[in-house]
Chain A
């Protein structure tokens, strides 16, 4: 199972909205964050692979009740025969670490929150590789998550349940559809026997596209 050994500093700074070299105080703060998170978080993921059946308003999967609705997920899975559903979490240990920081030191809490966001993404990149290595002969798309484009975020509960993710990695969904522990991700990776054209994710898919600081500055986050 993939293991986090460090947290990419430049990514943490990006999540914090920081530009340029960090000042010594900020660097020291990020050192502390990394140490605490690597100690307290127990990242885990689980996945399952299904054959894709196309349907009118999205994608349905063979042997799975879950329907992936919307045009964007349909487009995302174009050319794919199968799909890997992935659930990952940094664990409740990460939440507790952030909570502790919030009580005593807001700057630390803010940095921890950003570091945890960077960590879960970094962990998923490692998971992607492991998943693909378990599926020899397949090429994978990038991960497409509920809430991107018109792929409804309301699918979280059924998504988590289809993967039995509470039992497998301790991932739940709150009454209002939020993944808990907080630093968690669900995503779909399309799988194809043929090499897939590289697509950039782009801002149109992003729920933040109207408020994003990077866009306001005229750039993008690299997403």
Chain B
């Protein structure tokens, strides 16, 4: 018997809780239940047997928390514990049931909320999967973070041939603790090649019914339901649903199209027996839903059932500021591009960070990781290099779009396998070795070829989007209508979603905005689903909104009205002009005013003049008032924020005019290894930048060696280290020790809530800064 054969049955029965049974046998809270595989194998075996006797077709070995993190400190290896557990389960199962290697969450949160990296997570699961090689199937359960589950599934797929079953834990609000929604789970896991997906733990069958119903709408895979026996009483820890009630509720849930059933916390063999009995008598429908074309992040699914805007601004092509940001490694600049576009109405963000002089793969990885930490808009990974695409696809949490593949065989055979493996959507460009065909029919033929090759690779049709390619109207006027014709043909005859980069149409013409807007409207009418545009240009986003209204998609014009109804005319309150205004803006923490005043000043003043004569005196004034206790930290930071806006304008001006940005010198800043509290460090960063220093911000949880490397490479005169916890102060000490050993010619300033002057002295720091202002003082002393 194998899993596939089991699926031919009307339903498949899993087991019930292991932990509940162990607690009933006296396991104490806080003990490691997996150690019982070694200490009391007969107890574990008897529980498995009881479940098989109750009718379980698959039993979960006692391996839920047997990972290297949770077992650390108990002197038992992962392979010992898992090996023993699988052996016990197989012995209990004999020929009567299949044995599952059962793996729960690692117990640490992944970056950016936690400190565990994707690669470490992968490696932890890989070790477990290899240790459990004797099991018949692999189960990942009680997962709440889609990215952790993705690491797990990839580890399973890349290190074994076994079927992979995945269940996540949802709350009544239809989301997991980390905000993952049901549709995103289904789209992502089906894409990654899971063999069955479902829900376990948290609540009883009745409360989870809406969740499982939603799941059945979003997947073609067999659906698993393994709920708790209701809710526990917090004081007695007893669950409130009896086996009979549980079985009745499960029979109700089965009608949504569930295939695989079991019990989680609070259930026992009685529950499994009752469910099995009732299901024998229940009609269970087989539902095969139609899955729409959709992309997702964990918390947001974007269904392409209407025009959706792909924001094009995360791309250095033709953008001096963006290129400069890439060279400076300025992640905040890129992230702000994302926030700005999302606010303007982007549904999906294209991400291209290719620049000849940087390591594109490294940059793409950092960008994707950082982006998914701050935005829930799905991403389109845009690169011409397959290694870059794969690196991004691996760590992307959700279902992204790959931009792009084309009709050339070489492109098809390198890109499509990646699209398949990682379950992405893909943009197919209608060009091949012979370039872009003139005629719509020829482009259509390439689209068809791309679709057929994608299907051969096992990529579902709804995951293929076609770009019929916009040519420049000024150069190839006749081609414009051919492109639109192509869009229409692909949409109608192939039934695929269509993509177009729009802005290219007007290249070389005056009044580009007008051309772009009209072309966009024409393309939408011809069936364009995914316009790639600059959403910050109001007329473009507006054209899409207007189309949605006119095409009867935006019912009752609700979204249109919401977008424009409260647009008030710009207020034009008189403000003092020039430098007076800038000082005033900084003093009052007005960011917008500060940027405006700086722009005005730049008409008549040199950047350095503005910095030295207005910005720094204003900041000094604020700093002095802060020291005297006349203003408090909130105002100081508000002032700094306004000054930062002024600096942003000055920097932009200098980059645009090809002048080197002003800098008094470089400073490396880091929150030390193990610590994730970086707000203090970030405040310091803003203040230092305001004083004209270039800050190399290494982020939080920074390995000691990385600080040393950055200090040496950049030949900095000052390194700033931050730590908030008493437990991470030792990382600070270690970093300073390594810095000294490396011979780096720099001073070290340290800060953080629990630090004191004495402690700073004792670990060999040169300066102790009790607040951000004192760090600036240290910088002035060291660098000038």
Contact = CB atoms under 8 A, between A and B. Distances in A.
B728 to A, nearest CB: 6
B727 A17 contact: no
B29 A66 contact: yes
Nearest to A95: B113
A199 interface: no
B109 A65 contact: no
B679 A98 contact: yes
A17 B633 contact: yes
Contact of A178 (B30, B373, B674): B674
Interface residues of A, number: 69
Contacts of B637: 106-107, 110
Contact of B727 (A48, A98, A111, A154): A154
Contacts of B683: 106, 110
Contacts of B142: 167
B52 interface: no
Interface in B11-37: 28-31
Contacts of B728: 176, 178
Nearest to B756: A210
A111 B675 CA distance: 20
A49 interface: yes
B698 interface: no
Given A26-B635, A65-B30, A110-B679, A166 B107 contact: yes
B725 A178 contact: yes
Centre residue among B237, B335, B339, B641 by max chain A CB count within 10 A: B641
Interface residues of B, number: 70
A211 B770 contact: yes
Contacts of A42: 171, 173, 177
Interface in B229-288: 234-235, 237, 265
A186 to B, nearest CB: 13
Contact of A211 (B114, B374, B682, B753): B753
A106 B676 contact: no
Contact of A47 (B179, B234, B339, B589): B234
A55 to B, nearest CB: 15
A106 B682 contact: yes
B234 A17 contact: no
Contacts of B386: none
Interface in B607-628: none
Given A25-B588, A110-B637, A162-B30, A92 B179 contact: yes
B638 A102 contact: no
Contacts of B588: 25
A169 B142 CA distance: 12
B682 to A, nearest CB: 6
B30 A102 contact: no
Nearest to A111: B634
Contact of A105 (B105, B114, B177, B641): B641
B70 to A, nearest CB: 8
Contacts of B638: 25-26, 29, 107
B644 interface: yes
Given A167-B142, A172-B107, A106 B640 contact: yes
A107 B29 contact: no
Contacts of B674: 174-178
A188 B637 CA distance: 36
B633 A110 contact: yes
Interface string B114-141: 1110000000000000000000000000
B727 A178 contact: yes
Interface in A66-124: 66, 91-93, 95-96, 98-100, 102-107, 109-111, 113
A64 B23 CA distance: 11
Nearest to B375: A100
A21 to B, nearest CB: 12
A58 B240 CA distance: 35
B108 A113 contact: no
Contacts of A162: 29-30
A48 B753 CA distance: 31
A176 B682 contact: no
Interface in A10-36: 13, 16-19, 22-23, 25-26, 29
Contacts of B682: 102, 106, 109
B113 to A, nearest CB: 5
Interface in A169-212: 169-170, 172-178, 180-182, 207-208, 210-211
Contacts of A166: 105, 107
B169 interface: yes
Interface string B620-657: 00000000010011110110110010000000000000
B725 to A, nearest CB: 6
Nearest to A170: B177
A106 B234 contact: no
Nearest to A47: B234
A18 B770 contact: no
A207 B726 contact: yes
A105 B728 CA distance: 27
Given A161-B30, A176-B727, A106 B754 contact: no
B635 A23 contact: yes
A180 B676 contact: yes
B112 interface: yes
Nearest to A65: B30
Contacts of B265: 167
Centre residue among A18, A99, A167 by max chain B CB count within 10 A: A167
Contacts of B756: 210-211
B590 interface: yes
B332 interface: yes
A177 B373 contact: no
Centre residue among A44, A48, A176 by max chain B CB count within 10 A: A176
Closest 8 CB pairs of A and B: A170-B177, A176-B674, A162-B30, A65-B30, A64-B29, A107-B641, A180-B114, A18-B632
23 contacts: A25-B588, A26-B589, A44-B177, A50-B29, A65-B29, A65-B30, A92-B179, A96-B179, A99-B374, A100-B374, A106-B682, A113-B679, A147-B726, A158-B30, A172-B107, A175-B108, A175-B115, A178-B115, A178-B675, A180-B114, A208-B754, A211-B770, A217-B629
Interface of A: 13, 16-19, 22-23, 25-26, 29, 42, 44, 46-50, 63-66, 91-93, 95-96, 98-100, 102-107, 109-111, 113, 131, 134-135, 147, 153-154, 158, 161-164, 166-167, 169-170, 172-178, 180-182, 207-208, 210-211, 217
